[in-house]
Structure 1
Amino acid sequence: MKVDFKAIEEKWQKRWLEERVFEPDRNAKPKEKKFYITVAFPYLSGHLHVGHARTYTIPDVIARFKRMQGYNVLFPMAWHITGAPIVGIAERIKNRDPKTIHIYRDVYKVPEDILWKFEDPKEIVKYFMKAAKETFIRAGFSVDWTREFHTTSLFPPFSKFVEWQFWTLKDMGLVVKGAHRVRWDPVVGTPLGDHDIMEGEDVQILEYVIIKFILEENGEKIYLPAATLRPETVYGVTNMWLNPNATYVKAKVRRGDREETWIISKEAAYKLSFQDREIEVIEEFKGEKLIGKYVKNPVTGDEVIILPAEFVDPDNATGVVMSVPAHAPFDHIALEDLKKETELLLKFDIDPRVLEDITYISLIELEGYGEFPAVEEAEKLGVKSQRDKEKLEEATKNIYKAEYHKGIFKIEPYKGKPVQEVKELIAKELQEKGIAEIMYEFAEKPVISRFGNQAVIKIIHDQWFIDYGNPEWKGKAREALANMTIYPE
């Protein structure tokens, strides 16, 4: 006999709803057995998927089991609609983004007449809330729908609940004001949380030290801020790298009461304008204009030449790179490659003998290596040229890690100290002297917001934050967790 399971499902789902079997007994006596279960509610930027099925099956099984044990069970459900993702979808549909339209029309099967209403984010919410509730009911989840709600000001009771939470935390001294770096959508003008990112959600924010090398031009002092993650290696700089084909700018850079003239990539000027600096571009030019000129190392006083390097990414930090070939495999190989490009050197009026005369400077003593660890590591991995990018990246990773954890610095006044200690000391000292500053940059590109815009890093002042690091609060949280039952364990 053929069994119509769908009909059986529908029969019982209808009866459960009519008889309100999943609503707890509101007249239960205080001492009766009660059980409350909750689970993170779903975000409604689209239809529910198989991951949701797993997530909500677990609490449903537990809720049903507890009812069978005689408990008065409360299992409510709600919908998460705050944040940029839903608003971003509305913006992209408004702008007729083909990828977004394909997803919602062809994958999610939203009818055409409803799809164009999605220009209003409230319509997206309305459509997917209805669809999600229908899905929960069809799945048979034993939810108490009398307590259904959603986030945002579209449901004032929940908004007031969140406000109450924040005021309570503030009264307890657990909400504090300060400055903080955030991912930022420069077009929409909003900070970006993890779920507000469409591409590059887990990309790390790096803290670059930008060391201000000095270019004297017609009696004017101009700074070329070289970005580095290894400020301690400034003692070993043999030359600078600029991309001859990239666009650089000469700009007035104001920070507080200080004003300086910098040369940085055009991209860097834009990004730095979000990081506590006022940028006024005076001139725009190709990097080739500076190739062959000399700049002064502000720490050692050495004069070093600016050399051409197409590997310099103008969209990474400042677009100005200091070369430390004794301890950076990329710099060593780039110099070796450039020595063979006589025509390129002559194009920039650089005497090829200048490169032959570059002397590597050994800064770090590292067990298992000689004076120039970068050179040895490149040779060990068989790196022949800059085209061996994977091998070069491996060599760089190996050397940086080994030197940071095991290296001993060889240069006074830090001689004999571990590199990881020296790095912090030098970074601090250079900033105190005004020789260096901090710039924040993404470890990888691109980072795209849900609005479809390239994100930047912005420093926000006078911003309220929850003080999650408070040790007393952490202690209470651990104590509370110890008394909770988590499913699954």
Structure 2
Amino acid sequence: MRSNERECIARWEHAFEADPAEKEKYYLTVAYPYPSGAMHVGHGRTYIIPDVIARYQRMRGKAVLFPMAFHVTGTPVIGISKRIASGDEKTIGLYRDLYRVPQDILDRLINPMEIVRYFSEEYRRTMQRSGLSIDWRRQFITVDPRYSKFIEWQYDHLYEDGHVVKGAHPVKYCPQCENPVGDHDLLEGDKAEIVKFTLVVFRWGDARVPCATLRPETIYGVTNLWVNPATTYVRAMIDGEEWIVSPEAAGKLALQDHDVLVTEKIPGAVLVDQTVSHPFSGDVPVLPATFVDPDMGTGIVMSVPAHAPFDYIALRDLQQQGKYTSIQPVPLISVDGYGEIPAKDAVERAGILDQNDPAMEALTQEIYNAEFSRGKVFEKYGGKAVREARDDVAALMMEHYDSVPMYDFDNHNVICRCGGRVFVKILHDQWFLEYSDPIWKEQVKTQLEEMALIPSEVRAEFNRTVDWLKEWACTRRVGLGTKLPWDPAWIVEPLSDSTIYMAYYTIAHHLKAIPPESLTPDVFDYIFFGKGSPGTIEQKVLDRIRAEFLYWYPYDHRFSAKDLISNHLTFQLFHHRAIFPPELQPKGMVVFGMGLLNGAKMSSSKGNVYLLEDALE
């Protein structure tokens, strides 16, 4: 059987090489893999589904192109190589025992490019064993100098058209790597979103006591503040003023354009029963609550028990002990489906016993959504819809009452592949893709309307992603990848160099015979736009390459997993609209779910996998 298998693989090596022909074409692509470990059965599903479609289209008599490449841009393999070099037993054990890397090769994996070389070869071998009908002539890795010339050309056009700008924005940042990070750089928390809080500043004598909130309009209903009596807070000079915050918050604020100097530690219990004040709430007491997380916001929470289930039940718990019985919820928002005190209704309907009930998070989100979507502030507080009042109150407090924004994650367990914790940092003089541009957004939405999306339900998710996308940090200081052509101190990050490579596949095999230095921007302008007359490559060669591109493009379907809608799959639509004319826009996308093992997403970096090689055996 082994000899038969080897014979078949050898016979199939060139069987699926696709060239322009006098017949209908079908061009499909699938997200190229990051070869930092061995293929698992989740990968098998990812690539076998499009392979089945490719074979079906060949049976229908079409010329079918199914290419493959390897994505190695960024810092993941650098982090792996550093952990191996430092003798990290967990990493070494993963590669030695799960991926079965021979010791002589494992010793070489202290070099990131050795990881790239070894696992890209392993991926190709496993894909060939799986019988995938791939045209391997077009294979490349994303640090190939020819591919880098293609990326430079793309970014020159994006820059010239105003889609790449320099500015200051909050980004995911790894202090250990001293680098902004994208979702592909993360071990944990790849779904975490950056959230903008308003710091509502209360006064305690001469000190400021800031509370981070997503609901500044509820300041009129504050009855008290919450602190965790079991934690330690700090007194810090922040921008020349004395603040009381958690140590974790002090560290986060230092990354967000604040001068921070911690001067003293304060036990949480010392803050309990103190009185603080704000012009909108008057004097309110500081009370103890175990639900307060020092690692969320400032570690101090303003309490609005009429509209926040956690606040309502924490106050109820204290009052059932005979404490603080004079404090009553102050309602300020009316919302259909709830009584005067919405938090009370939600807690009682759900039968919540105490503030540690796991259902509390869902109840909090329920009230948040209901009041934001259909709530109205009482007339004596302005009478506006909540969605309008929220911005108005935040602007008022920032202009007149010392409030400032603070950024944090909706999930603080965000870990870089290097093992370090990731925070939100305001990054200056960084290059960003301006996905917030409303004209660009509308162009992408128009394109989505014209595309075949499978299943149809994902159309709404694509549109939501287009709506909320803002500026995206597209460069890094360190890592593998292409240098930004006009500012080579920066490197294009992984999600930003993988947007139009589907066009590169159509010509990749031709470019392998051309020296990288001959691939000038004029060459790519001619290949993709038919413009100009570059002199670095013979004209008939250029014409042949352009003809191949025009035969295959646009792609007919792109296959990928649902978790990439929020980044890669939507990014590539923005870039196609920016670079290519209407007739070369993508035709369709097929989105599928994730493969799970033991109830969790399979991950090569975590070792939560069943190897495809073992499944093939």
Counterpart of 2:216, as a letter, is P
1:404-449 alpha-carbon deviations (Å, 9 max, x no partner)? 233221153513x222221221112111224311111111231111
Distance 1:324 1:124, change over 3 A: same
For the residues of structure 1 that align with 2:25 and 2:378, how far apart are their CA atoms?
Answer: 69
Matched with 1:422 is 389
- TM-score, with length taken from structure 1: 0.84
Please give the residue correspondences for 1:384-463 in structure 2 after superposition, counting only pairs within 5 Å: 384-387=353-356, 389-410=357-378, 412-415=380-383, 417-463=384-430
1:310 pairs, out of 272, 281, 290, with: 290
* CA radius of gyration, larger in: 1
Distance 1:239 1:104, change over 3 A: same
- The alignment of Structure 1 onto Structure 2 pairs a total of residues equal to 456
RMSD: 2.9
1:172 pairs, out of 158, 161, 174, with: 161
Matched with 2:214 is 229
SS in structure 2 of the partner of residue 143 of structure 1: coil
Matched with 1:289 is 270
1:55-104 alpha-carbon deviations (Å, 9 max, x no partner)? 43455456566667777665443211112222222233233333323321
Matched with 2:432 is 465
Is 1:200 paired with 2:189?
yes
For the residues of structure 2 that align with 1:365 and 1:480, how far apart are their CA atoms?
Answer: 42
Matched with 1:336 is 316
Q: CA deviation at 1:119?
A: 2.1
1:284-336 alpha-carbon deviations (Å, 9 max, x no partner)? 22122222221111324x11111222321111110111112222222222223
Q: Is the 8 A contact 2:33 2:70 kept in 1?
A: yes
For the residues of structure 2 that align with 1:51 and 1:197, how far apart are their CA atoms?
Answer: 19
SS in structure 2 of the partner of residue 206 of structure 1: strand
Distance 1:73 1:270, change over 3 A: same
For the residues of structure 2 that align with 1:188 and 1:241, how far apart are their CA atoms?
Answer: 35
Counterpart of 1:474, as a letter, is V
- Percent identical among aligned pairs is 45
For the residues of structure 2 that align with 1:103 and 1:407, how far apart are their CA atoms?
Answer: 52
Is 1:242 paired with 2:227?
yes
Matched with 1:122 is 113
Matched with 1:474 is 444
For the residues of structure 2 that align with 1:475 and 1:331, how far apart are their CA atoms?
Answer: 41
SS in structure 1 of the partner of residue 255 of structure 2: coil
For the residues of structure 1 that align with 2:23 and 2:336, how far apart are their CA atoms?
Answer: 70
Counterpart of 2:385, as a letter, is P
Matched with 1:270 is 251
For the residues of structure 1 that align with 2:66 and 2:162, how far apart are their CA atoms?
Answer: 33
Higher relative contact order (CA 8 A, sep 6+): 2
For the residues of structure 2 that align with 1:288 and 1:370, how far apart are their CA atoms?
Answer: 35
Counterpart of 2:262, as a letter, is V
Matched with 1:99 is 90
Q: Is the 8 A contact 1:92 1:452 kept in 2?
A: no
Is 1:279 paired with 2:260?
yes
For the residues of structure 1 that align with 2:27 and 2:345, how far apart are their CA atoms?
Answer: 63
Counterpart of 1:323, as a letter, is S
Matched with 1:215 is 204
Q: Is the 8 A contact 2:70 2:120 kept in 1?
A: yes
Counterpart of 1:234, as a letter, is I
Matched with 1:357 is 326
Matched with 2:601 is none
For the residues of structure 1 that align with 2:39 and 2:326, how far apart are their CA atoms?
Answer: 65
Q: Is the 8 A contact 1:227 1:318 kept in 2?
A: yes
Matched with 1:327 is 307
SS in structure 2 of the partner of residue 115 of structure 1: helix
Counterpart of 1:117, as a letter, is R
Is 1:138 paired with 2:129?
yes
Greater mean alpha carbon deviation, residues 124-133 or residues 477-486: 477-486
Q: CA deviation at 1:383?
A: 3.0
Q: Is the 8 A contact 1:214 1:298 kept in 2?
A: no
2:75 pairs, out of 74, 78, 84, with: 84
Distance 1:405 1:21, change over 3 A: closer
1:372-402 alpha-carbon deviations (Å, 9 max, x no partner)? 2323333333334334x13444443333333
For the residues of structure 2 that align with 1:407 and 1:35, how far apart are their CA atoms?
Answer: 51
SS in structure 2 of the partner of residue 440 of structure 1: strand
Q: Is the 8 A contact 1:298 1:435 kept in 2?
A: no
SS in structure 1 of the partner of residue 235 of structure 2: strand
1:19-77 alpha-carbon deviations (Å, 9 max, x no partner)? x444456xx8x978776554332210111223333443455456566667777665443
Matched with 2:141 is 150
- TM-score, with length taken from structure 2: 0.68
Distance 1:7 1:167, change over 3 A: same
Unmatched runs of 5 consecutive residues or more in structure 1: 343-351
Distance 1:430 1:52, change over 3 A: same
Matched with 1:14 is 10
1:331-375 alpha-carbon deviations (Å, 9 max, x no partner)? 222223224557xxxxxxxxx5xx222233221223454432323
For the residues of structure 2 that align with 1:134 and 1:359, how far apart are their CA atoms?
Answer: 69
For the residues of structure 2 that align with 1:37 and 1:393, how far apart are their CA atoms?
Answer: 42
For the residues of structure 1 that align with 2:351 and 2:5, how far apart are their CA atoms?
Answer: 66
For the residues of structure 2 that align with 1:439 and 1:289, how far apart are their CA atoms?
Answer: 25
